[in-house]
Amino acid sequence: MSDTNPTNAPIRTDAPVVPTGGDSVQDLHRAHMAQMNDPVMLTADGVDDTAVDEPGAGGADSVQSMHDVLMREQAEPRDGFEPVPFWVAVVCGALLMWGGFYVGSNSADFRADVYDEPNPVATPVAGPVTDPDPQTVEELKAIGGRKYNAICAACHLPEGLGKPAENIPPLDGSNWVTGDQSSPARLSRIVLYGLKGNIEVKSPQVPRTAWGAAAMPPHADQLKDYEIAGVLTYVRNSWSNKADPDDKKPAITAATVRAARAKDGKRDSVTAAELQEKFPKDYADPPAPKK
Ligand code: HEC
């Protein structure tokens, strides 16, 4: 229904408009009333229910009924550019200002270090890492065997026979490894600080005894105390060597090397003569506390 204006409804003109009776005011009005209440002129449902309708009757097609219908039918909403209600503009403006203020005061300049998720798992603070301190020949040999083959074997060979052609003496059967010149304090220093100068090495496996044309490098920075103890225990108990008969009582442990390190600190390579002079065979360094 696009047009609710009742005045546009088709008008039937077959009802008498011209007064037929008297021409008094009342008669003239009666005729108009009859037409206004004519059922065909305005029907709510479009049905010409003529039977009910008599001039002046207040039936379904009466003026009042027709008005009821019209009142019920509200004007349809129409498209258009309605002005934005003032309160909507105010609320939107306030929200925009609040949002701007919120971002401005909480964005922290959008810095990555602010927005990156912190690691939820607390990084464990690296505490003092304690080195292992093996106390059996078996454990020390296991550690030392790996280190020996990685470092010492390059010169002394995996079989501990040395390289006479390169003036590298043997360890297998050496009297400095297990024998009359062997001591924990001397061996610790040879590996810690290296060895240079003339040395007489006696070994049943290698006929040559005089060495000194080559020098052995220090390993103090490369190997930890327990690793040097391991490497020495390994060479002292490998091949034909058997220096530690009691597996529970290795002659050299990390404490031995630690004591030598603490006594001598950083220093040059040792010589065989110095070892013999300063460190008699039964010499032992004063125990050094663990760091
Ligand atoms: C770069 C070669 C080289 C490496 C690596 C090396 N040595 Fe030596 N080593 C020598 C030389 C050369 C001598 C003899 C030095 C001299 O004549 O004064 C020697 C001497 C020794 C001696 C005393 C002499 C003997 O034959 O008994 C021992 C013990 C020893 N080395 C053990 C080791 C151990 C254990 C390692 C591994 C941690 C090692 N060496 C790594 C070259 C090396």
132: in domain: no
**For residue 2, what pLDDT is reported?**
46
Q: Among 30, 57, 72, which residue terminates a domain? A: 72
Closest CA to 37 of 16, 19, 55: 55
Q: Are residues 168 and 259 in the same domain?
A: yes
Q: Are residues 143 and 231 in the same domain?
A: yes
Q: Are residues 42 and 147 in the same domain?
A: no
Mean pLDDT across 153-162? 97
Who wins on pLDDT, 73 or 248? 248
Sign of torsion over alpha carbons 152, 153, 157, 159: positive
CB of 270 closer than 6 angstroms to any ligand 1 atom: no
CB of 243 closer than 6 angstroms to any ligand 1 atom: no
Mean pLDDT across 46-60? 53
pLDDT tens digit string along 81-112? 778 889 999 999 999 999 999 998 888 888 87
Contacts of 231 (CB under 8 A, 6+ apart): 144, 147, 148, 151, 152, 191, 223
CATH of residue 187's domain is: 1.10.760.10
Q: Are residues 270 and 172 in the same domain?
A: yes
**For residue 255, what pLDDT is reported?**
97
**For residue 1, what pLDDT is reported?**
44
Q: Are 12 and 38 in contact (CB under 8 A)?
A: yes
Who wins on pLDDT, 281 or 84? 281
C-alpha 194 to ligand 1 mean position (Å): 7
100: in domain: no
CA-CA distance, 60 to 36, in Å (whole number)? 13
List of long-range contacts for 128-133, beta carbons under 8 Å, 24+ apart: 130/290, 131/224, 131/225, 131/226, 131/254, 132/226, 133/226, 133/253, 133/254, 133/255
CB of 150 closer than 6 angstroms to any ligand 1 atom: no
Does the pLDDT of residue 45 top 60, yes or no? no
pLDDT tens digit string along 2-29? 444 455 656 655 655 554 556 778 777 7
- Among protein residues, the one whose CA lies closest to atom 9 of ligand 1: 216
Rounded to two decimals, the pTM is: 0.64
Degrees, nearest 5: CA angle 23-28-32: 160
CA-CA distance, 286 to 256, in Å (whole number)? 9
CA-CA distance, 290 to 131, in Å (whole number)? 10
Q: Are residues 156 and 67 in the same domain?
A: no
126: in domain: no
Residue 10 CA: distances (Å) to CA of 36, 40, 52, 188: 13, 9, 20, 127
Parent domain of 25: 15-72
**For residue 113, what pLDDT is reported?**
74
**For residue 143, what pLDDT is reported?**
97
107: in domain: no
Degrees, nearest 5: CA angle 231-176-158: 45
Q: Are 36 and 61 in contact (CB under 8 A)?
A: no
Residue 211 sits at φ, ψ, to 5 deg, of: -130, 170
Mean pLDDT across 155-167? 97
In the chain, % of residues over pLDDT 90: 61
Does the pLDDT of residue 148 top 50, yes or no? yes
205: in domain: yes
117: in domain: no
Q: Among 72, 92, 107, which residue terminates a domain? A: 72
pLDDT tens digit string along 111-134? 877 767 666 666 677 777 889 999
Q: Are residues 173 and 269 in the same domain?
A: yes
Q: Are residues 152 and 43 in the same domain?
A: no
Q: Are residues 67 and 141 in the same domain?
A: no
Average pLDDT of the chain to the nearest whole number:
85
Q: Are residues 68 and 184 in the same domain?
A: no
DSSP code at position 77: P
52: in domain: yes
- The count of structural domains within the chain is 2
Q: Among 72, 89, 115, which residue terminates a domain? A: 72
289: in domain: no
Mean pLDDT across 153-171? 97
Contacts of 9 (CB under 8 A, 6+ apart): 41, 42
Q: Are residues 269 and 169 in the same domain?
A: yes
CB of 252 closer than 6 angstroms to any ligand 1 atom: no
In the chain, % of residues over pLDDT 70: 80
Q: Are 17 and 89 in contact (CB under 8 A)?
A: no
- Among protein residues, the one whose CA lies closest to atom 39 of ligand 1: 152
**For residue 248, what pLDDT is reported?**
95
Q: Are residues 151 and 271 in the same domain?
A: yes
Could you identify the atom of ligand 1 that is nearest to the CA of residue 176? 27
pLDDT tens digit string along 220-250? 999 999 999 999 999 999 999 999 999 999 9
